[in-house]
């Protein structure tokens, strides 16, 4: 252990991230009362159920097609609250800025963060700014922590997933990841790829009202593949998905072919993965597609009672099935 070091892959959202959390972080912070350390924590304050979540954003580049680190910092935390079933109320903003960072960019990013939060009905209530010497940060890093309230009766938990449940995505996958990669690599597509960065709380509110939602996630770092693997593990079910049913924009497919990437592992910042009760299929899909951010929704697969618990099986267009594997390396550092 002495000589072990933190690797870039520990931050990729894949296998090493999971190991770091499970073997190092979780044992330290695990509560004596046996509660899990969740991505969004739920607590009771007075008679209210309150959700709390935190995320630091270190994306590079800080300005990208479809957004910037300020917009992303607002959306990312709002979305973590939204998928936990909470109504986001307020954000805190913690800034770490590199000495020499242009004040104009600083302002642009904060204006963007504030506008995004405001449009989503969320207040920025307090903040903190630290400056580090040139070379000790890359431009700007932003932490946002969000608080929201969870209505009585909402209980989204992968433990409730059972065989026959449907697996849904709210729209084309991989846009954010490919937008960032193509900007980094200087690849130009005929139609430029725009990050899907968006606040999902309006969408989740409508979808929750439709009933039948067992679980929601926003498939960010590690993409839809990583999210499905986590849900399959947590529910101890097997997930079967069909490649042909997974919506991917042609430009994202083209970019993936060119770079040898798989869109299932690309980050999304404005998409939902939902596990729903099959008898509520119509209500959920109607709720999704009646919202601008859910128009491209698709059922991509089903939960089964097969023996491979905690695994995800992908069937390609030829009918060949293979197990989806965990992300091994540092696929894309600083994607969010």
Task: Find the binding residues for its own copies in span 121-150 (CB under 8 A).
Answer: 123-133, 135-138, 141, 143, 145, 147, 149
Nearest approach in angstroms of CB 260 to its own copies is 22
Which span (31-39, 200-208, 235-243, 250-258) binds its own copies, by CB under 8 A?
31-39
Decide whether 171 or 177 has the Cβ nearer to its own copies: 177
Residues 6+ apart with CB under 8 A from 186: none
Nearest approach in angstroms of CB 256 to its own copies is 24
Which parts of 79-98 interact with its own copies (CB under 8 A)? 89-90, 92-98
Quick check: 48 binds its own copies (CB under 8 A)?
Answer: yes
In the three-class reduction of DSSP (H, G, I as helix; E, B as strand; rest coil), residue 326 is classed as coil
Nearest approach in angstroms of CB 239 to its own copies is 25
Which parts of 263-322 interact with its own copies (CB under 8 A)? none
Q: What length is written for the chain?
A: 336
Closest of 27, 16, 118 to residue 70, by C-alpha: 118
The 177-206 contact track toward its own copies, x by CB under 8 A, reads: ------------------------------
The 149-178 contact track toward its own copies, x by CB under 8 A, reads: x-----------------------------
Q: Does the bond joining 92 to the residue before it have cis omega, within 30 degrees of 0?
A: no
Quick check: 119 binds its own copies (CB under 8 A)?
Answer: no
List the one residue from 18, 40, 180, 287 that touches its own copies (CB under 8 A). Answer: 40
Nearest approach in angstroms of CB 331 to its own copies is 13
Kind and range of the H or E run holding 108? helix 103-119
Contact 164, 214 (CB under 8 A): no
Nearest approach in angstroms of CB 277 to its own copies is 28
Quick check: 46 binds its own copies (CB under 8 A)?
Answer: yes
- In Å, the largest CA–CA distance within the chain is 57
What distance in Å separates the CA atoms of residue 274 and residue 285, rounded to the nearest whole number? 11
Quick check: 4 binds its own copies (CB under 8 A)?
Answer: yes
Quick check: 334 binds its own copies (CB under 8 A)?
Answer: yes
Q: How many residues bind its own copies (CB under 8 A)?
A: 80
CA-based Rg of the chain, rounded to a whole angstrom? 19
Q: Is the dihedral of CA 70, 73, 76, 79 positive or negative?
A: negative
**Residue 34 region by backbone torsions, left for phi larger than 0, else alpha for psi between -120 and 50, else beta:** left
What distance in Å separates the CA atoms of residue 229 and residue 310, rounded to the nearest whole number? 7
Decide whether 136 or 155 has the Cβ nearer to its own copies: 136
Contact 3, 47 (CB under 8 A): no
Give 279: exposed, middle or buried? Use CB within 10 Å, 0-12, 13-18, 19+. Answer: exposed
Quick check: 110 binds its own copies (CB under 8 A)?
Answer: yes
For residue 22, give the DSSP letter: I
List the one residue from 38, 119, 209, 259 that touches its own copies (CB under 8 A). Answer: 38
């Amino acid at each position: 252990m002495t000589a072990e070091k933190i690797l870039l892959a520990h931050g990729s959202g894949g296998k090493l991230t999971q190991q770091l959390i499970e073997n190092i972080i979780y044992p330290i912070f695990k509560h004596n009362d046996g509660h899990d350390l969740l991505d969004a924590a739920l607590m009771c304050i007075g008679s209210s159920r309150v959700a709390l979540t935190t995320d630091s954003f270190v994306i590079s580049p800080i300005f990208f097609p479809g957004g910037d680190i300020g917009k992303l910092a607002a959306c990312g935390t709002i979305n973590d609250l939204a998928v936990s079933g909470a109504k986001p109320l307020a954000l805190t903003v913690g800034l770490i800025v590199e000495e020499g960072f242009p004040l104009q960019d600083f302002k642009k990013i904060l204006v963007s963060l504030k506008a995004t939060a405001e449009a989503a009905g969320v207040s920025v209530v307090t903040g903190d700014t630290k400056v580090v010497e040139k070379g000790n940060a890359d431009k700007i890093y932003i932490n946002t922590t969000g608080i929201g309230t969870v209505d009585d009766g909402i209980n989204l938990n992968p433990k409730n997933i059972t065989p026959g449940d449907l697996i849904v995505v709210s729209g084309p996958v991989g846009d954010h990841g490919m937008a960032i990669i193509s900007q980094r690599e200087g690849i130009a597509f005929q139609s430029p790829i725009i990050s899907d960065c968006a606040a999902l709380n309006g969408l989740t509110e409508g979808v929750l009202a439709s009933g039948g939602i067992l679980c929601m996630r926003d498939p960010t770092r590690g993409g839809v593949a990583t999210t499905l693997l986590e849900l399959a593990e947590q529910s101890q079910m097997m997930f079967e998905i069909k490649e042909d049913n997974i919506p991917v924009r042609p430009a994202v497919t083209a970019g993936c072919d060119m770079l040898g990437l798989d869109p299932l592992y690309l980050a999304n910042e404005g998409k939902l993965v939902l596990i729903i009760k099959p008898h509520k299929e119509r209500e959920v899909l109607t709720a999704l597609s009646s919202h601008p951010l859910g128009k491209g929704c698709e059922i991509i697969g089903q939960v089964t009672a097969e023996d491979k618990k905690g695994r995800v099986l992908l069937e390609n267009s030829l009918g060949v099935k293979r197990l989806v594997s965990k992300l091994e390396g540092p696929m894309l550092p600083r994607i969010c």
